[in-house]
Amino acid sequence: MTAKGTPKKPAAPATVLVITLEPDGNGSLLARRGELAHLSQFAYRGMSEIVTAIQQSATALISVEENPPSVDVTPAPPIVDAPVAQTDEDAPSETPEIESSTPVDTPDPLAIPSDPQPKLI
């Protein structure tokens, strides 16, 4: 509340402008305030075209705010995995796998070598 007892209005969200200027003379401008935004592309040769693009984008953003799009957000249906038919390749083999009790020594490619001396080539 303010000192006069009137309720304080919530602050409007900041307006964010993202301008991308490519070296070939093409640019894009994203104007956003809150959850609404407007994206435009333009060609430029100097500052006057960039300023014009900003003015047009601000006008377009105001238009979007006055007539916001209706967004129908319906939850997506759950994805159900269909059962997969078992093929001959997936069928269990008749010969059982034998587990070896001796570990296989595979060198670790990330291991630090035990010889810390640099080798001259």
Reported as a single tens digit per residue, the pLDDT across 19-44 is 999 999 999 999 999 989 999 999 99
Q: Is residue 89 part of a domain?
A: no
Judged against a pLDDT cut of 90, whether residue 58 lies above it is answered with: yes
Domain count, the chain: 1
Judged against a pLDDT cut of 70, whether residue 94 lies above it is answered with: no
Q: Is residue 101 part of a domain?
A: no
Percent of the chain residues past pLDDT 90, beyond the cut: 42
Q: Closest Cα partner for 15 from 27, 1, 29? A: 29
Q: What is the pLDDT of residue 47?
A: 95
State how far the Cα of 110 lies from the Cα of 113, in Å rounded to an integer.
9
Q: Is residue 121 part of a domain?
A: no
Judged against a pLDDT cut of 90, whether residue 117 lies above it is answered with: no
State how far the Cα of 40 lies from the Cα of 53, in Å rounded to an integer.
8
State how far the Cα of 19 lies from the Cα of 53, in Å rounded to an integer.
10
Judged against a pLDDT cut of 60, whether residue 119 lies above it is answered with: no
Region 34-58: what's the mean pLDDT? 95
Q: Is residue 95 part of a domain?
A: no
Q: Is residue 72 part of a domain?
A: no
Q: Is residue 94 part of a domain?
A: no
How far apart are the two ends of the chain, measured CA to CA in Å? 78
State how far the Cα of 62 lies from the Cα of 57, in Å rounded to an integer.
9
CB 47 within 8 A of CB 30: no
Q: What is the pTM of this model?
A: 0.51
State how far the Cα of 26 lies from the Cα of 21, in Å rounded to an integer.
6
Query: pLDDT: is 92 or 32 the higher one?
Result: 32
Residues paired with 43 in a beta bridge:
26
Structural domain harbouring 59? 15-66
Q: Is residue 76 part of a domain?
A: no
All residues at 6 or more sequence positions from 40 whose CB lies less than 8 Å from its CB, including other chains: 28, 29, 31, 53, 56, 57, 60
Judged against a pLDDT cut of 70, whether residue 14 lies above it is answered with: yes
Q: Is residue 30 part of a domain?
A: yes
